[in-house]
Amino acid sequence: MTLLHEITGWLTSLMFYVLCVALIAFVAYCLYVRHVHQKYDHIPGPPRDNFLLGHMPSFVKATSSNNIMHGVFLNWAEKYGPLYRLNSFHYAMVVIHCPEATKTILMSPKYPKDPIFYKQLFNLFGTRFLGNGLVTAVDHDVWYRQRRIMDPAFSSSYLRGLMGTFNEMSERLMDKLEENADGKTPVVMHDMVNCVTLDVITKVLKETLRLYPTAPGTSRWLPEDMIINGFKIPGGCAAIFSSYVSGRMEKFFKDPMTFDPERFDVNAPKPYYCYYPFALGPRSCLGQVFSQMEAKVVLAKLLQRFEFSLVPGQSFDIKDTGTLRPLSGVICNIKHCTEDMF
């Protein structure tokens, strides 16, 4: 019995010390979180939902109700301006919609991708996921070596040699659509077109990407202090850029929710660092030239041969799965073009 009492006493003491250590560690962490808050709270931004969770509950609420996080960003941009801060645990982020700051940060290799986020993509749940490639490489030298290897495969001269392949793939799509071109059979165009092309082409698709960018945003790491829009941003935080938000702001595009392809006419003023569906600078999308060449072939054939009408009852809602896509899938009825159209 004496031994049992001694063991019980030791366990009780051990548990007490463990709880004390845990409590001290929690208090210390809370003090550190408060320090981070104080460090960035001079920057305007929405009130935190929770001291520790910061703005995470707002993101969870948006995604759980089939809304998209960038829609929340848009509301906050309209309310708090071209620069505002967000918090999550002991991390701070700044969301930037200032063209000059966008130009400075995205166009320079000085600002790498956010190491906290992209290192999570390297390993997911302890297992290699996306690795350390063009998308996830944080170190500029590592990325640059890989980009140099890939550049020849996406050069304009090489891609012109692939026009035969583009034509072959688009003809396969035409053959598939021929089978359903009775004007009555609904076809999910998102699935059909996505198998051969990316949604980028001329004025119409540029305007589409303004409102519905496939990759809505990107981020960079600010390793040192900098001034943005009159506010000092302490180094050691992530900067978030959203083409989705910038493309829907009145200050950059007149009547932003009006679909107007003429915004991208060759004689129209060019958007100044507020339109970047492929990102900007050295870390911009490697395949953007490829996708535009491919899409021009496919879309030209589609418009020459078929008429499309949306099946009633669809919405223009967006599904966010890391990239944006139409929630309804763009279900169409297809029929052959009449000759008098040309």
Q: Give the pLDDT confidence score for residue 7 in this predicted structure.
A: 77
Beta pairing class for 318-320 and 182-188: unpaired
Q: Give the pLDDT confidence score for residue 158 in this predicted structure.
A: 56
Residue percentage of the chain with pLDDT more than 70? 80
Q: What is the pLDDT of residues 76-135, one digit of tens each?
A: 999 999 999 999 999 999 999 999 999 999 999 889 888 777 666 555 555 545 566 666
Lowest mean pLDDT among 149-158, 176-185, 193-202, 266-275: 193-202
For residues 250 and 84, give the distance between their C-alpha atoms in angstroms, rounded to a whole number: 18
Mean pLDDT across 21-27 = 95
Task: Give the total residue count for the chain.
Answer: 342
pLDDT for 339 beyond 70? no
pLDDT for 73 beyond 90? yes
CA angle 319, 325, 331 (to 5 degrees): 100
Half-sphere exposure of 218 (CA within 13 A, CB side): 27
Whether 239 and 224 have beta carbons less than 8 Å apart is answered as no
Q: Give the pLDDT confidence score for residue 342 in this predicted structure.
A: 42
pLDDT for 244 beyond 70? yes
Quote the mean pLDDT of the chain: 82
Name the band, by pLDDT with cuts 50, 70 and 90, for residue 161.
Answer: low
Q: Give the pLDDT confidence score for residue 266 in this predicted structure.
A: 82
pLDDT for 255 beyond 70? yes
- Cα 219 vs. chain centroid, distance in angstroms? 9
Q: Give the pLDDT confidence score for residue 320 in this predicted structure.
A: 83
Lowest mean pLDDT among 119-133, 201-215, 314-328: 119-133
Who wins on pLDDT, 31 or 261? 31
Residue 279: Cβ-neighbour burial (10 angstroms; 0-12, 13-18, 19+):
middle
pLDDT for 66 beyond 50? yes
